[in-house]
Amino acid sequence: MADHDLFDLSGRTALITGSSQGIGYALAAGLAGAGTTLVLNGRNESKLADAASRLAETGATIHQLAFDVTDHAAARAAVDGFEASVGAIDICVNNAGMQHRAPLEDFPADAFEHLLRTNVSSVFNVGQAVARHMIGRGAGKIINIASVQTALARPGIAPYTATKGAVANLTKGMATDWARHGLQCNAIAPGYFDTPLNAALVADPEFSGWLEKRTPAGRWGNVEELVGACIFLSSRASSFVNGHTLYVDGGITASL
């Protein structure tokens, strides 16, 4: 096998949750560039259709699967329906997530529960739904999107930090249960990236100045810089990588 073939994803189909914008959209575009057929997911059908249209202009083959990742029954029905009517999902990228900022002593209980459902339950719901089919085929790639907050914390986001720590440990659990069935389950932990989720921070000169000094690379990340990690973890090149969290953070977790 030629070295470049290790990263060839031609003929593979990837489901990317939360792929209407931001990191999910960038990963979808990157996977399409590597030859993958895309299954885009989101709750807002209009935004999903717009994302699909833009990606189709690049020549990508697109399917749309609108469902709420926090709803276990809906996730299973959507995945089962796609597998039955269209075909196998070879790669699953659990990207859907949210943020809520507030001092921990004043953090609303309903916001905490919403974070848990969106950032953790969704990974379980969709991961389990696709794994049931992957196990039968003896192969599959599950990539969960963690965060630099998997390892670090900042004031005002303690519950978010808790959810992303849970994502990394759920990834380890998936690998422990499913590696023997031929699945590779790993996570990507982005550092600070210029995304809609971080728009307020990007626009804050004080925060951006702090981040540039705190990050060895000296800047915000660009979402396209996550694509290589996703292609690696989706491809044959990572056939013996399991339960790993890959930090893509400009060195912020390596430096005080």
Tens-digit pLDDT profile for residues 111-141: 999 999 999 999 999 999 999 999 999 999 9
pLDDT of residue 3: 62
Q: Where do the domains of the chain lie, and which CATH numbers do they carry?
A: 3-245 (3.40.50.720)
How far apart are the C-alpha atoms of 32 and 93, rounded to whole Å? Answer: 13
Cα-flanking dihedrals φ and ψ of residue 185, to 5°? -120, 115
Report the DSSP beta bridge partners of residue 143.
93, 186
How far apart are the C-alpha atoms of 241 and 233, rounded to whole Å? Answer: 8
pTM of the shown model: 0.96
Tokens of 10: 């031609």
pLDDT of residue 4: 63
DSSP structure string for 6-36? GG--TT-EEEETT-SSHHHHHHHHHHHHTTP
Tens-digit pLDDT profile for residues 55-99: 999 999 999 999 999 999 999 999 999 999 999 999 999 999 999
Mapping DSSP onto H, E and C, the string for 79-108 reads HHHHHHHCCCCCEEEECCCCCCCCCHHHCC
Tens-digit pLDDT profile for residues 205-238: 999 999 999 999 999 999 999 999 999 999 999 9
Sequence-separated (6 or more) residues with CB below 8 Å from residue 57 = none
Average pLDDT, the chain: 96
Verify whether residue 160 is a known catalytic residue.
yes
What mean pLDDT is predicted for residues 142-147?
98
Q: Are 150 and 116 in contact (CB under 8 A)?
A: no
